[in-house]
Structures are given as C-alpha cells and as structure tokens.
Structure 1
C-alpha cells in the first residue's frame, strides 16, 4: 500500500469462491491457528475487555416513528464485529451485517454480510469482500477443529440438528476431521428442508450410504458419535432441543453451534470445552446471571453452572489448552464431551486474509480508490 494514495480490493461472492472461500480443509487449518492465537491472547476484539462478540443494533417492540423497524421476533438487527488477530494473520478488520428473517420472501438470505480488512497501523482499508459464504465456512470449520481433537478416532455416526447452512458446513467439517463417518442422521422442523439436506448430503458424500431424517432428539443422539446442534433458536430455553444424558453414547461428542439444553447435574458429568474461555466470561458480564437464555450458546450455561457451584471454574476447558497439550481431550475414553462454539470476528478476519491473499495471487477483484490525496490531511 502506498501513501497518501489509498486503494483497496473489492471481492464479490463469485470472486470469493474462486479465491477458495469454500476450501473446508484449509479453513479448518486456519481456524486451528485462530484457536492457538486466542489461547495465547494474541488478539483483540471489541469492548473495554477486548473480548466482546460485537455491537448490536436491535429495534424496539413498538415506535412512534413510522419508518423505524419494529422487533417482531424476525431477527431484525444490525451488528458490527471488529477484531485484530496476530500470529500468522496480523490483520485487523470488521464484519458487518444486517439481518431479517423476512428476507427469505425476497429470495435473500436472512443475513447479508460484508467483511472489511484494514491496515493495523493506519486503519486504511485493504479489502472489502462478500462475507456470507466466508462466515458460514468459518462457523462450520470450528466444529471441525473440535472434532479433530475431541471426537473418538473411530467415530462412525454423525447427527445434525438443523438442516440449514450451519448444519451443512458443520457436517462438511466433521466429515473432514472424522473420515470414518458412515452414517448421517438429521433432525429438522420442515420436510422440505430435510429433503433438501438429504439430497445435498447424498450428492456431496456418495460414499455414505445411510443418510436419513429422524423425528426426535432422542433418535438423533442415541448411538451417535458426533452431534452438531446447528438449529435456529431464540431466548427461551424451554424451546431448545433437550438432551438426556442416558440417551448419549459413551464417548460421544456434542458440538453446540446453536441452542440445546441439558440438565445441569447431568451436564456436569461431561467434559465441558469452549472455543475461547474469555468470550464466555465476557458474556457472563454482558448477560447477567442467568446468562443462558439471554445468550443461547451452551457455554453460557457452563458459566451459570460455575456461578451455581455445580462445577469449578477450571472444569470449563479451553480448546486451545487441549490443542497445546496442556489439558487432556477426555479423562476416560467413555467420557462424553460437550464443545461450545461461540463464533468470533477474529475467525472472519483470519479467513478473510486467506481469501484476500489468494485473490491477489490470482488477480481477482476490482481495485477501488479511496483517494489520491486526502483532502482533510
């Protein structure tokens, strides 16, 4: 980058695909390096504690202003998620998105996302990119890192709760990390979405012959080695998929990408792992006790359990400590493991840099000029 002239690269979705945004194998490797950076503390996110997930604009239930959006339970919001991540990335950036479930009636995804990468010293823009696929891939890849270190090596059965985008990307990552998977079970709410998921899985994984839908959570988790909860959810825990400990196969891994629930005393029998301990401690501050429900990620139930003295603080294990050999993946081979995935903008920035570097190598994108010389310098 030359100064004072500033230009940046714009990458649309098609160019992002050419730049490798869908490369799950590399995304898992990238997210593993992200977890290592998080564990070392070589990152900064929003807020005074440097661990905030982001800043969200939510709308009121009612308003005297006729043009103001109304919260009708349709996930209508805007969110800014800034971050810096060090290590091999050394990059700053921000994911920005607006979300509205009614977008589907217009042929649009619920959330529309972009990512801006910025020079860490000047703040100058480096790249602006389409980020829907990027976000979906990094979200799915973290379960792949979890499965690599936490699933039993002979895992053969995978269960997916939620046949949407997160269900598909987490399945791809789990299969990448658990090559012996030979059966897929999926639980959803609508037959059309289940049929689409099964057709997708059969086409993408022709070597897996047994791919089927199930009607209950019990059917989903019984005799299943790796379960991904990738369903949509709200702030009412009574509506979350509920898992009983007695249903779970010995040695099973549950990955909580989205909401599910278990009895706290039963959950205390499991190995409880999170993707970044500091994130959950920050959520416990931002969503005062009880955090779980206000935040529907299962790791917030872990911090509630610490508050209630059901488990000790050291029983909430950071995945980075397992990757670095500081903590064991499981205390016994039959121990059930629950891995909570919070999702963080450092992941977007890291995967965005990977795609940006590939785009540069391939000559992709459109160069946009911010200025030749800043008028206000």
Structure 2
C-alpha cells in the first residue's frame, strides 16, 4: 500500500532551523551529484499573467540520484505585491515521487525549503569562493526580504564572522528589520542608503526582486571581492566581464535575461564563464585571486529535492507528518 504524507510549514521550519550545517552539506552533495551527471534537471517553466507582469508561478521538475533517488517538482509563486500587505512574496509546495514506482509519496510546504536551499547555496559559495576574507570582512546585503534574512542565518552556520554588516533596501523599514535580525545573531549591523557604500564591501549579497540591472555599468569590483548574485538581474553584463564568473549550471543561467545571459548576448559567447561551483568544489576549476568573483545561481530543482527529502525523513522520524489515508483512489490494478 502506497502512503502519502503532508509536511506542514511549521514542521519543515523546525527541521531546517535545527541543523543548518547539515542543509549546507546536502546542497554541496547535490551540486556534486548534478555535476557528475546523476540527475535530471529540465528547464524551469514560467506561468505569467498579462495583467500582473511582475508576478509568476514557476514549476521546477527534477530527479536526483546519488543515493537520494527521488523525482519531484516544486511549484513556487512569486507575487511581489504581497509585500505591500506585509506578506511574504513567495509561496510554494514540493511534491516528491518515488523513483521505483513514480507514485507521489509526499507534499511539503516548500517556501521555507526553497529559501533554505537558496541560502545554503549562497553560504556554500561564500565559504568556497572567498574563504576567510569573505566571511570575516565587511558584508553588504542588498535587498531585505525573507531570502536575505535566511542567507544571513546560513552564513552564520557556515562560519561567518563579519567585521560589519550593511543592509541596503529601497524600503528602509525592511533594511532596519534585517539589521536588527543580523544584530540578534551577534554581529554589528547597520542600514545604509548608499548603494555605492554597499558595493565596496568584501562580501556583497544581492537578494532583491529587480527585473533588470540597476548597478552602474562603470562600477569596479576589487580583487578578492565575492559577489553573490542570488537575485540574478541586479548586475549589468559589463561588470561581469571584469570578474571571474562561477555559476550553478551554465545552461540554466543563460536564459530569462539574467546577468550572465545578458553578458552572453553582449559578447556573443561564454568565454567570461569561469566554471561551476561544483567544479570549484572538486578542484577542477580555480578562481583568480587577482579578480573579483561573482556567483550566479539560477536555482536548481535538484537542491529542492535534496533538502525536501531530508525534511521528509526527519519529519517521519519525529512522527510529525500528516498521513492522508486513502489518498490513492485505486490501490490495485484489478
């Protein structure tokens, strides 16, 4: 008999918050499994609305092998207008499918899972690409929403000990709340209304909802600076051409008018790409210490599967899933 479980968001949050280092390790392993070809990660599918041009719902189907052996799909909505009402921009569910039978085995509330895998990816990149300098110097976080807050939590789990954290957002109250959150983690934090000041930090994190580049094209990044281009569209293509560029997946990043996609259109090629984060992790690719490095992750469904499988396993062990008896209307073929 096939069972079907639901994992509510509060259960998923408890699991994720208790061991962020484990989530970072899961994301690291998923990247390496994906790089080794033991995954299937098709293009994301975007549902857009003519009367709501800034809103979208995205489907991310994927299969992850390497011991996880699950398929699934994340269905995540991004409605920026929610923020004006004090609600999170994003909401999501994750369906996990058994690889042997194809049957769905669980439905998880996944806004927290999505934020955690994104933040774990950012923290892993900061630790891998910048080492001690990125984690101990001055940090700027540009954009002050749920993703930004979650990234600071995961940076702390990765060994972050910043000298100072600058929080920049067009909505100053949000920047103030993020600064207060960072302060609660034990770090010195303040807001800044100056984008230029933020861009001068050793580690710069972009976590905005920007639809197109706004950072000045004549901005110069310093050697050794690490830029986490999480929101993907803040940076002009000219800026990328003067830095090492590390992506999560090259093909995925070269679409939807992301900064790397714009750089490809500008140059007519991909020579500006240094490699993937998995290639850096494995030692196949090294970055130039004489240049800044920009990490641009499009966001892979295999990461949602890795983190979702972990959450489901932990929730089942704690007996905190909600079983749905009789979910499948036909248990036998005959």
| TM > 0.5 fold call | yes
Greater gyration radius: 1
Query: How do 1:16-35 and structure 2 match up within 5 A?
Result: 16-20=12-16, 23-35=19-31
Deviation for aligned residue 1:190: 1.3
> Distance in 1 between the 2:74 and 2:156 partners?
28
Deviations 1:179-222 (A, max 9, x none): 3322101110112111111111111x22x23x111122210021
> Distance in 1 between the 2:271 and 2:138 partners?
32
Name the SS of the counterpart of 1:195 in structure 2: helix
Q: What corresponds to 1:133 in structure 2?
A: 112
The yes-or-no answer on 1:91 pairing with 2:48 is no
> Distance in 2 between the 1:212 and 1:121 partners?
51
Query: How do 1:243-262 and structure 2 match up within 5 A?
Result: 244-246=218-220, 248-258=221-231, 259-262=233-236
Deviation for aligned residue 1:269: 2.7
Q: Name stretches of at least 5 consecutive residues in structure 1 with no aligned partner.
A: 47-51, 61-69, 284-293
Deviation for aligned residue 1:249: 3.3
Q: TM-score, normalised by structure 2?
A: 0.90
Deviation for aligned residue 1:106: 5.7
Query: How do 1:195-344 and structure 2 match up within 5 A?
Result: 195-203=176-184, 205-206=185-186, 208-209=187-188, 211-222=189-200, 224-234=201-211, 236-237=212-213, 240-242=214-216, 244-246=218-220, 248-258=221-231, 259-262=233-236, 264=238, 266-281=239-254, 283=255, 294-295=256-257, 297-307=258-268, 309=269, 312=271, 315-328=273-286, 330-331=287-288, 333-344=289-300
Name the SS of the counterpart of 1:250 in structure 2: coil
Deviations 1:51-106 (A, max 9, x none): x0x2222122xxxxxxxxx22x341x333221101113211111113343333466
Q: 1:254 to 1:243 in 2, by over 3 A?
A: farther
Aligned CA RMSD, in angstroms, stands at 2.2
After superposing on structure 2, the runs of 4+ consecutive aligned residues of structure 1 that deviate more than 4 Å are 104-107
Query: Number of paired residues?
Result: 330
> Distance in 2 between the 1:186 and 1:376 partners?
58
Deviations 1:292-339 (A, max 9, x none): xx43x32323433551x5x627x43111111111111x22x3321011
The yes-or-no answer on 1:151 pairing with 2:130 is yes
> Distance in 1 between the 2:290 and 2:283 partners?
20
Q: What corresponds to 1:65 in structure 2?
A: none
Q: TM-score, normalised by structure 1?
A: 0.81
Q: What corresponds to 1:367 in structure 2?
A: 323
Q: What corresponds to 1:357 in structure 2?
A: 313
Q: Name stretches of at least 5 consecutive residues in structure 2 with no aligned partner.
A: none
